[in-house]
Structure 1
């Protein structure tokens, strides 16, 4: 019988755990017997998650990953038995706006870079030394198909997700021989709060990408994350790129004069 890793041996640190992929992953791991450290900015949602999963399964930390000092301090202060982290899901990220590059609010670009790029850097840097010291583990980063395929209005968002992909690949080289695995998850169309955040609470605009089609769910993505981490320790899943069956690659865009 094929032997996968036992998730009951996992202590999983998840950023962006208050909604979407992070919330679904917290539930998936806790349901399989893992301990979960759920990090996020919304205290009320963290408290609700802890009540749902139970204090023995879930430790919560209020954290904005854009703050290096706060991230470092939070990781250092995690109490036993939740401090024995061996799986990290660096999930926190967002898209803001869909305007052309010449028109977008520069603050939106800065927020995406601070969260998707610097927040990821801070998360990895704060947690990786502990994984190595404890004899190994797994870092899972949350990329996007936008890191490979361009679309109008996604200039900095797509660039930030290309950074996520390349950081994950480079980490694989850095941790060679350290028994640390690295996987980048690259979802396409998935119905979560993603569009609601992108359009700053405009529910009408946020619903448009999902009308008349069947998008993936947060649970679909969480299952891919879970599968990659329970594979035997000698197997590293470098990348998982996934799209809804109803989504495909865009055609080349050719501008033509009238």
Structure 2
């Protein structure tokens, strides 16, 4: 299947982690890819290193709806036939109980994980509906289903993603547009480093004693959802490391980062 037949995949948070790898995998599978993120240098490197030449870097912040609208309106003709939307941009800030949390961190998570997803979806869903076919994949987290110490606001934002995914599927029924939610567990990307404000040693300690998921594990799961026959809708997929338990905590260590979207 050629790139023209596949159409265009828009991936938010494509500058690192899950989003970066999803962009690479979908480009290899024949999509033209709009790689959306804030970091110019990382997006440029992603496009330059891609052998397919099918990745278009687009610098925009999912929290800025007007900026997103301009970016989508200015897409080159070859990147306008959008058939896939991957809502991946997201982050977590800090650990600790709600009663000692940071309002600034809460706001950043809500603005990115919830409002950002709504901004991108609100702008692109009408295009998919007009096309008469397409697929939305929202990147959630097992944190939405299994509570852990310090998860609070981050976990709640992912619960929103899960519930919205199900309701999007209802709203889009009969339009030819499918909706899936992929919910990863612990995965070793830059996600934990962001959560710990760049403290690499503390972030790496989270993965001691188990083999975490990789960004490729998540990317291949997303790609599998997209390749199901048109009659099949994958509503929700959870994937975890074989050695991760549902409690999400580890005795004698900081609470485990449960995984989720990254690369904002």
Shorter-chain TM-score category? Answer: over 0.9
Larger RCO: Structure 1 or Structure 2 (Cα < 8 Å, ≥ 6 residues apart)?
2
Counterpart contact for 2:114–2:161, Cα < 8 Å: yes
State the structure with more CA Rg: 1
Moved over 6 A (4+): none
Q: Distance in 1 between matches of 2:68 and 2:168?
A: 19
SS at match of 2:122: helix
Q: TM-score, normalised by structure 1?
A: 0.93
Question: What residue is the counterpart of 1:255 in the other structure?
Answer: none
Say whether residues 1:46 and 2:43 are aligned partners: yes
Aligned partner of 2:217 among 205, 220, 228? 220
CA RMSD in angstroms, aligned pairs only: 1.6
1:1-258 to 2 correspondences below 5 Å: 9-53=6-50, 56-250=53-247
* 1:221 CA displacement: 0.2
Q: Distance in 1 between matches of 2:216 and 2:32?
A: 18
Q: Distance in 2 between matches of 1:33 and 1:209?
A: 36
* 1:54 CA displacement: 5.3
Uncovered stretches (5+) of structure 1, i.e. residues with no partner = 253-258
Uncovered stretches (5+) of structure 2, i.e. residues with no partner = 250-264
SS at match of 2:82: coil
Aligned residues: 248
Q: TM-score, normalised by structure 2?
A: 0.91
Counterpart contact for 2:148–2:248, Cα < 8 Å: no
In the superposition, relative to structure 1, how do residues 98 and 32 fare at CA in structure 2: closer, same or farther (>3 Å)? same
Larger deviation, residues 90-99 vs 66-75 = 66-75
